[in-house]
Structure 1
Amino acid sequence: MARIDRSRRRFLGLTAAVAGLALLPAAAAARAGLLHGWRGTALGADACLRLVHPDAAEARRLIGLCLAEVARLERVFSLYRGDSALVRLNRDGRLDDAPADLVRLMSEAAAFGRASGGRFDMTVQPLWSLHARHFARAGADPAGPAPAEIAAARRLVGFQAVEIGAGRIAFARPGMQVTLNGIAQGYITDRITELLRQEGLDDVLVDMGEIRAQGRRPDGRPWQVGLDGAAGIGPLALSGGAVATSAAAGTVFDPAGRFGHLIDPASGRPEAPWRSVSVAAPTATAADALSTALSVLPPGEAAGLLARHPGSTAFLTAADGGTTVMGTRVPG
């Protein structure tokens, strides 16, 4: 059973290292019959692939294609590679040769920004950087950055000030920066799933930071995905949908663990009313973005956001461990 770790770090390291990572042992694959797999590190998180295929050599070839695609997308979305398209955009404030994947994902991010009333905002990076710099200093005020600093950083936030066109992206205000960490893992999971579908595979489980399943296991049962931290919620059966989880405690800025990495653009501060949020949706991109937005959205507005995304269900876990379920249905 695949399991979502609610304390998993949520950032795009996008290591996708092939060296030292191999297919699961042949004996294990043989015991599983037609099931082949890979487990390693990708996108700064534990990652795995499960493929149902009658030919082990072909399965290895397909997994190699997937890892090459992850490496290609790293060069688009990474915040930590100096040559990535996103780093160049943040450095120069414009990109006249924007890759199609970046244009597509930033367009989707803007749509989720509108649907969430701005609670999902890809331009929140200046606030994230402010908190990271503040707590990296010796003797940092444990209360966080000063109100004036937060106000200055908030003036650089606003996805509406990003111009997105065919092959061109530009910021309206100097100093703006974008992060796609709340949606890119889901997007890459979707791209890998689509690649495998184009190669003729009907039965796969893809986890590139978020999870998407299609088809079934070799025994005919749906894939099973567990939700850590969601009290009273059993494994979800997935044969054509995705699941993503966000948790503020997954990455924290301060030694005391009071300031998580999920920042509310409305206040400029790390504020999350839920201990963790898992979302089941038709695509991993949607599940990823919705789990991020719901993590900082006031609880009274959660149902409205989910209503605008049919086929999505949220599992919202409070500090006391109780889990509230909202939405329409869990994709099967």
Structure 2
Amino acid sequence: MFKGVFILYLINIGCFVYAQQPKFIIDGQAQGTSYGVQYYAPNSVVSKREIDSVLSVIDKSMSLYDNQSLITAFNKADQSIALDEHMSNVVRRSFEINRISKGIFDITVMPLVNLWGFGPNRVKEFPQPQIIDSILQFVGMDKLALNNNNTLTKKDKRVQVDLNGIAQGYSVDVVSQLLDSKGIENYLVELGGEIKVKGYKDVHVPFEIAIESPKNGKYSDVILQLTDRAVTTSGNYRRAFDVDGRRIHHHINPSDGYPVQNNVTSVTVIARTAMDADGYDNVFMAMTPEEGVNLANSLKDIEVYIIYEDNGQFKEAFSAGFHQYIRNN
């Protein structure tokens, strides 16, 4: 269903028991990827069936691979459709991130994503400029309107939306809300590399997360210690392929219709919600390192770690508050 995010791997999770409470682990498959939930509680209070049910409801709302989903119905519709709570939450936040990013984050890029071969079919040659220009006529979130009663309207019937760049993080948040409703105070939820943690893995010991390095596929020296935060990572070295001798990446610039070309290799975003972390990692991937750091520094509760190439060397850039989450070796 959603994008496969990359390069986060959990380490040392649950090596101890928080306040002597048992650790419960639930694993499964959903949204075209795997998920894992670890929580600490006196008794088992959440079932795999409950988690699967939550994720299934979200699929019925926003899965592009479900012909009966709400998002599929909207993409086929000529004008308007009433959204459910989940799709409304995600679309409303998408408008906000689109505004803050000055159009970089844009859920109407679906026709361009498909044109460049990141949909169902891979391309064998570069799309012609005239085709890209024709599609750009109905790309842009200014061609969408969401009113107060959660009706989403397209101003051009050709508009189609793709929520893969934000909905998986939202799914993590919704599963986390399920755990919250059960009174669970210490947990980790992971879905396709999108992660949210609450509380601790042991008394005052935060959860630890290592970040994969684009240099060699192994792990970087940056190990995060997180509590009550979400983290996602996105990179240009996984969902990519070669066409006519050129490397094509899945981040599409909605203003010109072409894949983003810059020196950013990966970004790791820490935020209050997994939805925000998921949405903003797309934004930072499309910016220069300096632009990304400046934007993160201007936002509340958003921190970013950027790995980029400079004259054949990998370099790093951090927002002002990111270092507080790095484990001291």
TM-score if structure 1 supplies the norm length?
0.83
Gaps of 5+ in 1: 9-28
Q: Is the 8 A contact 2:211 2:220 kept in 1?
A: no
Asked if 1:216 is matched to 2:200, the reply is yes
1:165-192 deviations in whole A, cap 9, x for unaligned? 2131111112111111111111111111
SS where residue 306 of structure 2 aligns?
strand
Could you tell me which residue of structure 2 aligns to residue 283 of structure 1? 273
Q: Is the 8 A contact 1:98 1:167 kept in 2?
A: yes
Moved more, 252-261 or 266-275: 252-261
Q: Aligned partners of 1:329, 1:310: CA distance in 2, in Å?
A: 12
Matching of residues 73-152 of structure 1 within 5 Å: 73-132=58-117, 136=121, 140-141=124-125, 144-152=126-134
| Alignment CA distance shift 1:288-1:89 (3 Å) | same
Q: Is the 8 A contact 2:165 2:279 kept in 1?
A: yes
Could you tell me which residue of structure 2 aligns to residue 16 of structure 1? none
Q: Is the 8 A contact 2:305 2:322 kept in 1?
A: no
Out of 232, 239, 242, which is 1:251 matched to?
A: 239
Q: Is the 8 A contact 2:188 2:197 kept in 1?
A: yes
By how many angstroms is 1:44 displaced? Answer: 2.4
By how many angstroms is 1:211 displaced? Answer: 0.3
Matching of residues 142-291 of structure 1 within 5 Å: 144-165=126-147, 166-209=149-192, 210-229=194-213, 233-254=221-242, 258-273=247-262, 274-291=264-281
Could you tell me which residue of structure 1 aligns to residue 22 of structure 2? 34
Could you tell me which residue of structure 2 aligns to residue 69 of structure 1? 54
Q: Aligned partners of 2:63, 2:324: CA distance in 1, in Å?
A: 30
Could you tell me which residue of structure 2 aligns to residue 302 of structure 1? 292
Gaps of 5+ in 2: 9-16
Could you tell me which residue of structure 2 aligns to residue 11 of structure 1? none
By how many angstroms is 1:137 displaced? Answer: 7.0
More helix by share: 1
By how many angstroms is 1:330 displaced? Answer: 6.4
Q: Aligned partners of 2:283, 2:188: CA distance in 1, in Å?
A: 25
Asked if 1:47 is matched to 2:31, the reply is no
Asked if 1:326 is matched to 2:308, the reply is no
Q: Aligned partners of 2:118, 2:175: CA distance in 1, in Å?
A: 34
By how many angstroms is 1:50 displaced? Answer: 0.5
Q: Aligned partners of 1:137, 1:261: CA distance in 2, in Å?
A: 12
Q: Aligned partners of 1:236, 1:152: CA distance in 2, in Å?
A: 44
| Alignment CA distance shift 1:160-1:327 (3 Å) | farther
| Alignment CA distance shift 1:247-1:81 (3 Å) | same
By how many angstroms is 1:225 displaced? Answer: 1.3
% identical equivalent positions: 24
| Alignment CA distance shift 1:193-1:39 (3 Å) | same
TM-score if structure 2 supplies the norm length?
0.83
By how many angstroms is 1:55 displaced? Answer: 1.5
Moved more, 281-290 or 242-251: 242-251
SS where residue 163 of structure 1 aligns?
strand
Could you tell me which residue of structure 2 aligns to residue 6 of structure 1? 6
Letter in 2 for 1:76: S
Aligned residues: 302
